[in-house]
Structure 1
Amino acid sequence: MKKRTKYLMGIGSIVVATLIFVAADHIDAPGSMGTSADIADYFAFEPTEGANETTFIVDLQSNVLPDLAYGTFDEDVLTEINIDLDGDLIEDTVIQAIPRNGRMFFFGPATPGQTGLNGPVLMDAALGDVEISDATAIVETTAAGVKLFAGPRQDPFFFDFFQFNAVINPAMDAAPRGFLPSGEAEDTFDGANTLSIAIEIPNSLLGTPTATNALGITVYNTWVTTNRKQ
């Protein structure tokens, strides 16, 4: 398998994104761009302050611009959410998601048999499944209180892509210019979609974190990988 990885460090009572995490990393390597192996964004947070659940959202990139066609989840791509509980940056538990016949199947959270390598699908740790939906979002809630979603969602970032390129490469424009004020900037990705996988899961199923961040706050350290079948 080939693996793509994106990291997110916790900074909250459970986990919240920090400034060291570069979100919206659209269109990664040529080998994964335009497919659901390309990780666009990754979010992990408490759904409400003081909640006993954690929400994980993985945005997998298809094509970016609104006038391009979007693909579907690739059945040869396994998405894996890795969670470190003790601060050694080695996954202690994982959640996996893989699509089959219009549904997204989830496995875990479970201790991986191997760490740092591409392990098999955790077939003996089924978590639940949900129909892959689009215009009308379908959310499945399991008996354990886990909420699951999979399907295309609008790109969450406002970004004036062409103006950004004019700023970093003045040769593209007649004269160097700065960023435009909010009333003049264009959201290049307005109407564009990513392929999203969302899980809201009780913390009791994830395990108790003992890792601490730079502020001394107990957190889950978490990152996401995509693994393509070879």
Structure 2
Amino acid sequence: MKKTTKLLIGMGTLVVTGLILLAADHIDAPSSMGTTADIADFYAFEPSEGSDNTVFVVDVQSNVLPELAYGTFDEDVLLEINIDLDDDLVEDMVVQAIPRDGRMYFFGPAAPNQTGLNSGVLTDSPLGDVEISGTTAIVETTSNGVSLFAGPRQDPFFFDFFQFNAVIDPATDSAPGGFSAPEDAADTFDGANTMSIVVEVPNSLLGTPTATNALGLTVYNTWVTSNRKQ
């Protein structure tokens, strides 16, 4: 499988309660835009302070509107969470997710069989699987304490898209006051969904991190890629 999108997020786990590091772009290259190869957001965080688990959230295909049919995960797209343990920015462990017949199958955490631009599904390292949710969320917890979810979720991205366009387009001069105050801003993405996968993994399965973030905390380097079958 060839990696079509790579989004570097930086330090993301083993941090204080509530601290989430993320990136958002919501529109990727034309070849992946509007599909579940299009990465919108990636989150990695502790579910609670001092927890021995890490939660990874991958949001793809933004703007899945609730009044329309929910999107579906592309069976030719492998989503891969990459984890660097020795601070060289090369993945040492991966967690993979790929859909088949209404279920999301997860593999890893395990060393990848390839690094860089290509990936292969780690079929010898099954992690578990879960039914892809519709309007009701379905979560599976495995015998080794891993929790799994796949399906539509409310888009967490708050952005006043139309005011932003007005500000950056000097030809219209339609926003002389600049950006709106927080209490006046409109959440353009309110009511829209993304297609999400969520994996909560005991840190004992991930290995020991060696990177240090800006707060001086030891963390994993982690990023997510989407990989399309060639």
Q: TM-score, normalised by structure 1?
A: 0.91
Aligned CA distance change for structure 1 residues 4 and 139 (closer, same or farther; 3 Å): same
CA distance 1:154–1:175, change in 2 (3 Å): closer
d(CA) in 2 for partners of 1:119 and 1:6?
A: 15
C-alpha root-mean-square deviation of aligned residues, in Å?
Answer: 2.0
What SS class does the counterpart of residue 171 from structure 2 fall into? helix
Alpha-carbon displacement from aligned partner over 1:185-228 (angstroms, at most 9, x marks no partner): 21111110100000001000001112223444211000000001
- Distance in 1 (CA, whole Å) between partners of 2:40 and 2:124 is 29
CA distance in 1, matches of 2:229, 2:13: 35
Given the alignment of the two structures, is residue 57 of structure 1 paired with residue 60 of structure 2, yes or no? no
Counterpart code for 2:5:
R
Secondary structure of the 2:24 match is coil
In structure 2, the partner of 1:31 is: 31
Instruction: Determine the C-alpha separation between the residues in 2 that align with 1:74 and 1:12.
Output: 28
**Is the 1:86–1:210 contact (alpha carbons within 8 Å) kept by the matching residues of 2?**
yes
C-alpha deviation, 1:123, in angstroms: 0.3
The 4+ residue runs of structure 1 with deviation greater than 6 A are 65-68
Kindly indicate whether residue 40 of structure 2 is the aligned counterpart of residue 3 of structure 1.
no
Q: Secondary structure at the match of 1:170?
A: coil
Change (3 A) 1:11 1:63: closer
Residues in 2 aligned to 1:158 and 1:86: alpha-carbon distance in whole angstroms: 34
The answer as to 2:113 corresponding to 1:140 is no
Change (3 A) 1:163 1:211: same
Q: 1:66 to 1:149 in 2, by over 3 A?
A: closer
Name the counterpart of 2:165: 165
Structure 1 Cα separation of the partners of residues 13 and 98 of structure 2: 29
User: Matched residues, percent identical?
Assistant: 72
| Corresponding residue number in structure 2 for 1:94 | 94
Change (3 A) 1:173 1:39: same
Alpha-carbon distance between aligned partners in 2 of 1:89 and 1:83, rounded to the nearest angstrom: 9
- Post-superposition offset of 1:65: 6.5
Pick which of 125-134 and 173-182 moved more.
173-182
Q: Contact 2:76/2:229 (CA < 8 Å) preserved in 1?
A: yes
- Distance in 2 (CA, whole Å) between partners of 1:65 and 1:170 is 31
Q: Post-superposition shift, 1:10? A: 1.7
Asked whether the 8 Å contact 1:14–1:220 carries over to 2, the reply is no
Match of 1:179 in 2: 179
Contact 1:10 1:221 in 2 (8 A): yes
Shift of 1:177: 3.2
What secondary structure sits across from 1:9 in the alignment? Answer: strand
Tell me the matched-pair count.
227
Segments of structure 1 that go 5 or more residues without pairing to the other structure are none
Secondary structure of the corresponding residue to residue 176 of structure 2: coil
Q: Distance in 1 between matches of 2:175 and 2:11?
A: 41
Bigger shift: residues 181-190 or 3-12 = 3-12
Equivalent position of 1:217 in the other structure = 217
Higher alpha-carbon deviation: 38-47 or 3-12 = 3-12
Pair 1:205-2:202 in alignment: no
Question: Which shows bigger deviation, 23-32 or 140-149?
Answer: 23-32
State the AA in 1 paired with 2:8: Y
Distance 1:97 1:12 in 2: 20
User: Residues of 1 paired with 2:138 and 2:117: CA distance?
Assistant: 32
Q: Is the 8 A contact 1:8 1:17 kept in 2?
A: no
Conservation of the 8 A alpha-carbon contact between 1:62 and 1:71: no
For structure 2, which runs of at least 5 residues remain unmatched after alignment? none
Q: Paired residue for 1:83?
A: 83
Deviations 1:73-100 (A, max 9, x none): 0000000000001111111100000000
Kept after mapping to 2: 8 A contact 1:92/1:111 = yes
Q: Secondary structure at the match of 1:134?
A: coil
* Counterpart residue type for residue 151 of structure 1: G
- Normalized against structure 2, the TM-score is what? 0.91
